Structures are given as C-alpha cells and as structure tokens.
Amino acid sequence: MSQTPVTASEQTPGLSATTAGPRQRAAGITMMLTSSASNQTGAALGALAFPTIGPVGVVAVRQLITALVLLPMVRPRFRGLRRSQWWPILGLAVVFSAMNLTLYAAIERIGLGLAVTLEFLGPLAVAIASSRRGLDIGCAVLAGAGVVVLTNPGPTTDVLGIGLALIAATAWGAYILLNRSVGQRLPGLQGTALASAVTAVLWLPVAVLWFLAHPPTLMALLLAAACGLLSSIVPYVADLVALRRIPASMFGTFTSINPVWAALAGWVVLHQTLAVNEWIGIGLIVVCNAIVSARGFRAPAPARGHAGPEYGQ
C-alpha cells in the first residue's frame, strides 16, 4: 500500500543508521513492523467502507486527510517555485492518485493480499532495472513465476482486478522515479507536502460530486479517515524514525513483508482467505523483493505503501 515517501535527505541530524546501537536498531525494526501493520490495517479498514462510498470515496477522503495533517507539519512554500520544480510535483500528484485509486479498485475485486502483492512488482521492477546482477535477473524470473502461481490464470480469473493491480504497480514505479526528481529539486519534505496539497486540490471536487451521488454514512467516513491516518500518516512518522536507526538495505528487506501483512489484515478484518497457491505466489514475490533490496539497491529509501528502497505505499 503506497504511502508518503521519506528520502534519506529528510532524516534529521544526530542519530543515524551508522551510529545506532543494538537497542536503537531493534527499535527501528519495531517501528518498521508497526509501519507495515498500520499501513495494511488502514487499507483493510478502508475496504470496509467500499459498500457505501466505493474505492473512489475512500481514496478521496484519504487524500484530503493526508494533506490536512501533512501541510501544517511541513508548511511548504508555494511561492517562488520554478516551472522545472512544479512539473515533477504535478506528475507526482497525478501518479499517486492513479496508484491509490487502481490499487483500491483492485482490492475491491481480488482482495487485499493479492492486490498489494501484485503492486509490489512496481518497485521490484525499478530495482531490477537498475541492476545487472545475475541474481537479480533470476529474481525477476522467479517473481514472474510467483505471479503465475498467485493468479492461477483460468476461465474464472478476475482479469480486470489483476489488471488494476498491475496498473497500480506501474504507477508505483513511476512514482519512485518522480519522487527522486522532486527530491533533487526541493529540500526536505517540501516536495512531498506540495504534492499532497496538489493531490487534495485535485480530489476535492471529485469528493464533492462523488458524495452527492453516493451519500456517505458517518461510519464510512470514519473508516476512510482511519485509512488515511493509518496508511499515510502513521507509516510516514514510523518510517522516518526507523530510517534514523537502520540502513536502507535493511529497511527494504523488512518492508518486503508488506504483502504478508496485507494477507493477514485481509483475513482478520475482511475475512478474506487465501488458497495454498496464493500463499506460495505471495511467498515467492516477497522473497524476491527481500533478496533484491538486501543485495544493496542504493537509491534513497522512502517510507509504501507502500516497500523496499524507494518503495513508497
């Protein structure tokens, strides 16, 4: 599940991954696991609101909540930005919106565990594309096999749901590349906060029109708001703290467990069960993500969604 990115340059001075002791690293790992569990629990709670307001309504509320919390924290400067700075920010907002909308639509059709696992192919593809190691290429082949095992193609396969999850994966890969560009042009969290503001502006009229056509209940709005807090704000804070205590490669390896958390959240909250082949497919893709991130993909490591280095849910 995609979330607000945190780049290495945004870690505050003082404590760092290279100076952290065993207790601090243990605390960092705990924060990572908390982040992953919060992210997927938030997605599951958002899915509970689908019958009333649908994925569009949940994504709209999530985007608005994220901006309402993040903007006062960062207080970005809107004036004085050059065109070369605005274009990647606008692209980030559009890609992030498409990523979340297609992921939530996929969750509605094929379940949380399968959708999140397929979405993880996006960052995995970016990592492998940046590598020439034979082991990483082997991981790409193994991940492809995992997709076949996971989806088990046949007459009853939900092709649309799988397609939506793969679009979300593609959007996540594009989001990683755009986030790098924004990080090079703007300091700290300025780019992230500006992108969240643009995203909120894009989604505000959508939310108004959608909720006029689909009147929400208080419970649906609360579930969607909880999704925004648990899937965006809590992971952002937890990952920011974790990245001060652990190296990026370790961050990526541990965050690769997200599909497993998604499957467990889907089972506990949404009562979605997985077949043996689906667990095997998830396992293959998780292992591939862990191997590639542990092998030292050197890009800065933001907090996804939603993921390994440069994984943003």
Over the chain (313 residues), the average pLDDT of each successive run of 10 is 47 50 76 87 96 96 92 81 82 91 96 94 82 80 90 85 95 83 72 86 95 96 96 81 71 79 94 93 90 60 39 42
* pLDDT value of position 3: 52
Residue 20, C-beta contacts closer than 8 angstroms, at least 6 positions apart: 28, 244, 245, 246
Q: Residue 173, class by beta-carbon neighbours within 10 Å (0-12 exposed, 13-18 middle, 19+ buried)?
A: buried
Q: Name the token pair of 98.
A: 């498409």
Distances from the Cα of 297 to the Cαs of 132, 178, 290, in angstroms? 11, 17, 11
* pLDDT value of position 2: 54
DSSP string, 121-177: HHHHHHHHHT---HHHHHHHHHHHHHHHHHH--STT--HHHHHHHHHHHHHHHHHHH
Residue 258, C-beta contacts closer than 8 angstroms, at least 6 positions apart: 1, 36, 39, 40, 116, 120, 304, 305, 306, 307, 313
* pLDDT value of position 268: 95
Residue 186, C-beta contacts closer than 8 angstroms, at least 6 positions apart: 85, 89, 194
Q: Judge contact between 307 and 313, C-beta under 8 A.
A: yes
Alpha-carbon gap, residue 202 to 199, rounded angstroms: 5
Q: Judge contact between 83 and 136, C-beta under 8 A.
A: no
Q: Which amino acid is at 250?
A: M
Residue 28, C-beta contacts closer than 8 angstroms, at least 6 positions apart: 17, 20, 241, 242, 243, 244, 245, 246
* pLDDT value of position 202: 92
* pLDDT value of position 249: 63
Question: What's the pTM?
Answer: 0.83
* pLDDT value of position 64: 95
